[in-house]
C-alpha cells in the first residue's frame, strides 16, 4: 500500500534583528497566513538587546529606561499583552504559524500541550531532560528554560517560545523596573535558581544551528511533516512587513500607553504573622483599580519554594476588589504547604499596602501593621 507523502511546511530563519523588525515580521506572517498567502511556517528568530513591554503597558512604569539607553538596549512594545521581558542574541525564538485544521482543535490548553511537548523533546535531544509544565513553560529539573504562548487570528494561530541558550539573569533584572531589593545579590541568586540555560546544563554553549536543527526535527516528528527551507519572505509577506514596520518602528507606537507614574504608585506594607515577617511591594493602576504587580518577600517557610513566585504571577494585572477571592482560589488550586501561614496572611498583607492608596494617606511611608 502506497504511503501518503508527508505535508511540507516552511522553515524561515530571520536571524538577529531589532525588536521592531521582529514584531513587524510577526504581524506580516500572521496576517498573510490568515489571508491564505503564507504556508504553514516554523520561524526562528533572535533579538538584538531589547527591553520589551506588553501591548497595554506603560514604558516608564515597566522599564528602567535610563539603564536601557545607557547600555544600548532597544525599547519596544509587543503586539500582544503580557509583562515586560528582556531578549538578546543569547536566546533563540521559535514560532509556528498554523491553522486550526492542522491542530484539530481551538483549545489553547490542548494546543500548548502538543506544541510544548514537541519543543521539550527537541531540547532534550541536545542532552538534557526537558519537560512541559502546564500551562506554558518548559523546564529542566523544575527550572524554566523556555516560556511560550499563543494567539489566534481568525483560523490562524501563532504559537511562540523562547529558548534560553546563554542568558544573563542579572541584566534582565536591571532592565525591568522592579524594587531595589530584587537587585540584591541574594535576590539575583534566587532568580538564577528558578531559570536555567543550555550553557549551564551542557557545560558549553551549543552551536545555534544545532539547536535549530533539533527543534525542527522534533516539530517534524510531532506533526508528521517535512520542512523546506526558505531564504526570505514571499512578496505578499514583504509588503505586509513594510507596512507593519512603518507603524511599529516609531515613538508613537512604543509610548502609546504611557501614563504619569503617579497613576500607578508603588505601595509597601509589612505584616508580622505567626509564620514570620512578611513584606509586600504592590504596584497599583489607579485608573483601573488593578494590581499591576505584587512582590512578596519575608522570613517565612512555604513549600514548594516557587509558591510565592506563582502567587505573584497569579495576581498580576488583576482587580484589587477580587484580591481575597483570587488568593483563596490560588491556594485551593495549589494545595501548598505553609508553616503557620494562612492564605489570609497574604491577602491581608497586600490589602495593607492598598490602604495607602486611599485619599489622605501618605503613600510615601510604608504601612506598618505589626502584630
CATH superfamily of 7-254: Bira Bifunctional Protein; Domain 2 (3.30.930.10)
Average pLDDT of the chain is: 88
Q: Look up the CATH number of domain 261-357.
A: 3.30.390.50
The C-alpha atoms of residue 89 and residue 317 are separated, in whole angstroms, by 29
pLDDT of 23: 97
Q: What angle do CA 339, 341, 346 make, to 5 degrees?
A: 140
pLDDT (tens digit, 9 = 90+) per residue, 249-297?
999 999 987 755 555 567 889 999 888 888 888 988 888 899 988 988 7
* Grid cell at residue 193: 535558581
pLDDT of 116: 96
User: Is the four-CA dihedral 164, 169, 175, 180 of positive or negative sign?
Assistant: positive
Residues 173 and 183 sit within 8 Å (Cβ to Cβ)? yes
Cβ neighbors of 109 (< 8 A, separation 6 or more) are: 134, 135
pLDDT (tens digit, 9 = 90+) per residue, 107-118?
888 999 999 999
The C-alpha atoms of residue 206 and residue 190 are separated, in whole angstroms, by 25
pLDDT of 186: 73
Residues 188 and 129 sit within 8 Å (Cβ to Cβ)? no
pLDDT (tens digit, 9 = 90+) per residue, 134-168?
878 999 999 999 998 888 888 899 999 999 999 98
The stretch 75-97 carries a mean pLDDT of 89
The C-alpha atoms of residue 130 and residue 161 are separated, in whole angstroms, by 14
Domain assignments of the chain as residue spans, ordered by start: 7-254, 261-357
Q: Greater confidence, 304 or 325?
A: 325
Amino acid at each position: 500500500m502506497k504511503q501518503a507523502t508527508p505535508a511540507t511546511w516552511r522553515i524561515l530563519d530571520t536571524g538577529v534583528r531589532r525588536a521592531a523588525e521582529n514584531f513587524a515580521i510577526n504581524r506580516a506572517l500572521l496576517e498573510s497566513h490568515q489571508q491564505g498567502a503564507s504556508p504553514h511556517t516554523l520561524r526562528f528568530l533572535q533579538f538584538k538587546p531589547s527591553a520589551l513591554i506588553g501591548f497595554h503597558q506603560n514604558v516608564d512604569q515597566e522599564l528602567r529606561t535610563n539603564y536601557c539607553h545607557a547600555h544600548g538596549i532597544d525599547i519596544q512594545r509587543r503586539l500582544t499583552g503580557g509583562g515586560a521581558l528582556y531578549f538578546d542574541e543569547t536566546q533563540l525564538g521559535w514560532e509556528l504559524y498554523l491553522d486550526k485544521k492542522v491542530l484539530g482543535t481551538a483549545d489553547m490548553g490542548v494546543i500548548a500541550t502538543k506544541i510544548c511537548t514537541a519543543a521539550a523533546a527537541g531540547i532534550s535531544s541536545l542532552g538534557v531532560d526537558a519537560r512541559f509544565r502546564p500551562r506554558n513553560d518548559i523546564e529542566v529539573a523544575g527550572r524554566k528554560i523556555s516560556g511560550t504562548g499563543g494567539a489566534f487570528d481568525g483560523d490562524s494561530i501563532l504559537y511562540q517560545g523562547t529558548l534560553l541558550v546563554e542568558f544573563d539573569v542579572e541584566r534582565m533584572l536591571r532592565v525591568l523596573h522592579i524594587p531595589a531589593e530584587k537587585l540584591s545579590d541574594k535576590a539575583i541568586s534566587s532568580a538564577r535558581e528558578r531559570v536555567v540555560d543550555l550553557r549551564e546544563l551542557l557545560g558549553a554553549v551549543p552551536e545555534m544551528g544545532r539547536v535549530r536543527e533539533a527543534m525542527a526535527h522534533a516539530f517534524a516528528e510531532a506533526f508528521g511533516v517535512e520542512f523546506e527551507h526558505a531564504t526570505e519572505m514571499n512578496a505578499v509577506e514583504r509588503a505586509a512587513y513594510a507596512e507593519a514596520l512603518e507603524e511599529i518602528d516609531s515613538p508613537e507606537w512604543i509610548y502609546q500607553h504611557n501614563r504619569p507614574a503617579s497613576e500607578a504608585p508603588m505601595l509597601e506594607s509589612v505584616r508580622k504573622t505567626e509564620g514570620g515577617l512578611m513584606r509586600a511591594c504592590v504596584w497599583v493602576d489607579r485608573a483601573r483599580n488593578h494590581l499591576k504587580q505584587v512582590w512578596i518577600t519575608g522570613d517565612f517557610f512555604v513549600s514548594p519554594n516557587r509558591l510565592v513566585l506563582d502567587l505573584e504571577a497569579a495576581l498580576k494585572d488583576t482587580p484589587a476588589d477580587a484580591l481575597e477571592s483570587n488568593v483563596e482560589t490560588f491556594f485551593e488550586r495549589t494545595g501548598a504547604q505553609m508553616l503557620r501561614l494562612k492564605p489570609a496572611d497574604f491577602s491581608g498583607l497586600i490589602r495593607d499596602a492598598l490602604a495607602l492608596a486611599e485619599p489622605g494617606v501618605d503613600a510615601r511611608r510604608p504601612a506598618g501593621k505589626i502584630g
